[in-house]
Chain A
Amino acid sequence: MSAVLLAGVVFVNLAVLQLNLAVDKATQERTQLRATTAQLQSQLSAALASPRIQAQARRVDGLVPADPSTIGYINLTP
């Protein structure tokens, strides 16, 4: 009886140890993923920056901002 109890205690302790190791590994992965996410977010924001896109559109595609006076507005009120 005591032997079974002792074996059970050892088994539970081993299981807890293994779970703690898994938690440690998951925490490390989470930290790494957060770092990667933040870095990607920063890169995305930099890529979406208006001045960069405008400069590239001007340089690569030869686009220029539309003259506001050429834009027409439709008044839908009766």
Chain B
Amino acid sequence: MATSREKQANRRIRLLLAVFALVFAGLLGRGFWIQAVQAGRLAKLAHGQHQKTFRIPAGRGTIFDRTGVELAIGEQMTTVFADPQQVVNPSAIAIAAHKVFGTDSNALYPALLNKKSQFVYLKRFADPLEAARFLKKGFLGVSSYQEERRAYPQGGVGSQLIGYAGIDNRGLGGLEFQYDHKLAGHSGTQTVVRDAIGRSINVISSSPVQEGADVFTTIDHTIQANAEQVLQAAVLKWGAKAATAIVLDPTTGEVLAMAQAPGYNANNTGNVKSALTRNRAVTDAYEPGSTFKLVTVTGALSEGLVKPTSTFTLPVCIHVANYCIHDAEQRGVVTYSVAQILKYSSNVGAITLAEKLGKSRLAQWVDRFGFGHLTGIDFPGESAGFALPVDQWSGSTIGNVPIGQGISVTPIQMASVYAAVANDGVWVQPHLVDRVGGHAPFKPKRRRIMSPAVDREVKAMLTGVVTGGTGTEAAIPGYTVAGKTGTGSIPGPHGYSDSTGYMASFVGMVPASKPRLVVLVVLDRPRGAIFGGVVAAPAFQSIAKFDLQYLAVPPDAPRTALSAG
């Protein structure tokens, strides 16, 4: 028989056993709760605490000019931000941000107090050294990340051409937009395990970054900068609304410069009007005036209707539909050869040739030269210009189109057409980018517009324009120059009777004996003087003279240099 003492001991043991069983059951239950019921949530929490997946942004490719100078480059900046939910000293952060970054502390302080928010910029795109100085202060709830910002080291040089990238580093205009998919690359990711103080101690997984490809343009920044300076001076001198210039290599179709005035600083696009960012050389069409007579004359020569020496007796004005069209300068009845029609830019002569050609063949030549079609230049928003289909021509169209009115063209179309004349009659597709990354250089399309024999005749006639015609201001001592002046009336709401001004232009090639360059200059609404030969030809001369010296092109007519000197 168990004594009462033994019974008491057994009771205590059972009680202890029950307590242990209860505790064990509790632990088992808790273990089940943690391991089974709450497993997902807790695993996620732990995962978030010691693992982090970073996006590794791809560096945006650089845009180079043809000499290897950077036109657009990515700069690594540091963006500093705060999490108001973790911030413990908002006033100190606001004051420090003002001191280091110049951030408005009065605006920042209330934002840091807003505990509903988890993200406030202290400074976006901060200088890395300044950011490091700020982060060294060790404020709780403050962190940073690397961000790339687009910089344009040449400032305003080629700004409309290069375009710009937005705050998210995506191309929004110009070549930045055209080649955005190549320049941007593809970002990578990296998942790391971090220790208690945030150092990564293991890389779990990663996908590689594909850096953006570099874009190598055909632009020469020196030629571009000079062309812009010349245009700015011309705009100032003639009170023009704007000006455009193109410098082309006629044999390759490479655009060496595509300049505009006025320009803007590409590093500060925030306050620039969108109209100013437009690359008028590609996107804007204008009525060219007499530079278009090239098409009429070439058509008549190619069809075998006339020769450069064929003569015509030209009346004071020529009747077309209800209009009587005069030459730009008053004159009596004259007898001009075809070469003289071009040399003196006779409207009456050009319309006479066009009537001989007939509207349908003239329309075919307009089409053959590529007017009304895109050149296919690698720039966004190219305009095809406007060439009225022959079945829609009115009675007066045969009096307008041959002299470059009633038809609109883009500067790049006109420059590429004169480049075809410079290139023995073969049109080469103009282009701005030679190659992207390590890819093969761009191969432009080519097509013959006129026979080599007609081309020689046209070139000789265009030389006459500069030696003794309307384009004498374009002459360059030491070199032969071939080109054509143009003064296109800008029609108002009711046509040419209420014209809003003129587009003055000159397009030519140098040296005419073996052209290395084609240069086009267009001034929009010059004041004081309106003629292309007066307003645009001197700008052409300044641009071409500089470029010939810069490219060390030897003179082909040294005697003219001596006589000029």
User: Do the two chains belong together in a single complex?
Assistant: yes
Q: Does any Cβ of A come within 8 Å of B111's Cβ?
A: no
B222 interface hit (Cβ, 8 Å): yes
Distance, CA A17 to CA B226, complexed state (A): 58
Q: How far is the CA of A31 from the CA of B145 in the complex (A)?
A: 11
Interface SS of chain B: mixed
Q: Are A46 and B155 in contact (CB under 8 A)?
A: yes
- Say whether B128 contacts A36, CB under 8 Å: yes
| Cβ-based interface call for B153 (8 A) | yes
Q: Assess whether B565 is interfacial by the CB under 8 Å rule.
A: yes
Q: Are B151 and A42 in contact (CB under 8 A)?
A: yes
B460 in contact (CB, < 8 A):
no
Q: A38-B76, A42-B73, A42-B75 are in contact. Are A75 and B554 (CB under 8 A)?
A: yes
From A16, A35, A48, A68, B69 is in contact (CB under 8 Å) with: A48
Question: Which residue of chain A has the shortest Cβ distance to B127 in the bound complex?
Answer: A39
Which residues of the partner chain B approach A68 to less than 8 Å between Cβ atoms?
476, 478, 545-546, 548-549
In angstroms, how far is the closest chain A Cβ from the Cβ of B233? 13
* B69/A39 in contact, CB under 8 A: no
A42 to B476, CA, bound (A): 37
Give the distance in Å from the alpha carbon of A52 to the alpha carbon of B548 in the complex. Answer: 21
Q: How close is B68's CB to chain A, nearest CB, in angstroms?
A: 10
- Number of A residues, CB within 8 Å of B: 32
Residue of B nearest to A41 (CB): B73
Contact at B73–A45, with CB atoms within 8 Å?
yes
A32 to B77, CA, bound (A): 10
What 1/0 mask marks residues of chain B from 12 to 52 whose CB sits below 8 Å from any chain A CB? 00000000000000000000000000000000000000000
Task: State whether A20 touches B128 (Cβ < 8 A).
Answer: no
Give residues 544-559 of B contacting A (CB, 8 Å): 545-546, 548-549, 554-555
What is the distance, in angstroms, from B287's C-beta to the closest C-beta of chain A?
33
Indicate if the CB atoms of B73 and A69 lie closer than 8 Å: no
Q: Is residue A21 within 8 Å, beta carbon to beta carbon, of the partner chain?
A: yes
User: Given A38-B76, A69-B561, are A51 and B155 also a contact pair (CB < 8 Å)?
Assistant: yes
CB contact under 8 A between A49 and B200, given known A38-B73, A38-B74, A69-B478? no
Asked whether, in the complex, the Cβ of B73 is within 8 Å of the Cβ of A20, the reply is: no
Of the candidates A24, A43, A50, the one whose C-beta lies within 8 Å of that of B222 is: A50
Query: What is the CA–CA distance of A52 and B73 in the complex, to the nearest angstrom?
Result: 18
Q: Inside 8 A of A48's CB, which chain B residues have their CB?
A: 69, 153
Known: A20-B203, A66-B549, A71-B549. A41 touches B70 (CB 8 A): yes
Find chain A residues with CB under 8 A from B555 CB.
73
B251 at the interface (CB under 8 A from A): no
Docked complex Cα distance between A54 and B221 (Å): 13
Contacts of B202 on A, CB cut-off 8 Å? Answer: 16, 20
Determine the chain B residues whose CB is within 8 A of the CB of A43 once the complex forms: 153
The verdict on A24 contacting B146 (CB below 8 Å), with A42-B151, A48-B69 known, is no
Cα distance A1–B260 when bound, in Å? Answer: 82
B73, B77, B564: most-surrounded residue (chain A CB, <10 A):
B73
CB-based nearest B residue for A70: B565
**Which residues of chain B are near A38, meaning CB under 8 Å?**
59, 73-76
For A50, the chain B residues whose CB sits under 8 A away are 157, 221-222, 225-226
CB atoms of B70 and A45 under 8 A apart:
yes
Contact yes or no, B199 A21, CB < 8 A? yes
The answer on a CB contact under 8 Å between A46 and B146 is no
Given contacts A20-B200, A20-B203, A73-B554, contact A46 B76 (CB under 8 A): no
**Cα distance A51–B74 in the bound complex, in angstroms:** 21
A49 and chain B: residue at smallest CB distance: B154
Closest B residue to A66 by beta carbon equals B549
Partner of A65, one of B76, B77, B478, B546: B546
Do the beta carbons of A42 and B153 come within 8 Å of each other? yes
Pairs A-B, 10 closest by C-beta atoms? A35-B76, A45-B153, A68-B549, A46-B153, A45-B70, A73-B554, A24-B200, A69-B477, A50-B222, A51-B225
**24 interchain pairs (CB within 8 A)?**
A20-B203, A31-B76, A31-B146, A34-B59, A35-B75, A35-B128, A36-B128, A38-B76, A39-B76, A41-B73, A42-B75, A45-B69, A45-B70, A49-B69, A49-B155, A49-B157, A50-B157, A51-B154, A51-B157, A52-B155, A68-B478, A68-B545, A69-B477, A69-B545
User: Given known contacts A42-B151, A45-B70, what 12 new A-B pairs fall within 8 Å (CB)?
Assistant: A35-B78, A35-B128, A38-B75, A42-B70, A46-B154, A46-B155, A48-B153, A51-B225, A51-B229, A54-B225, A69-B477, A73-B554
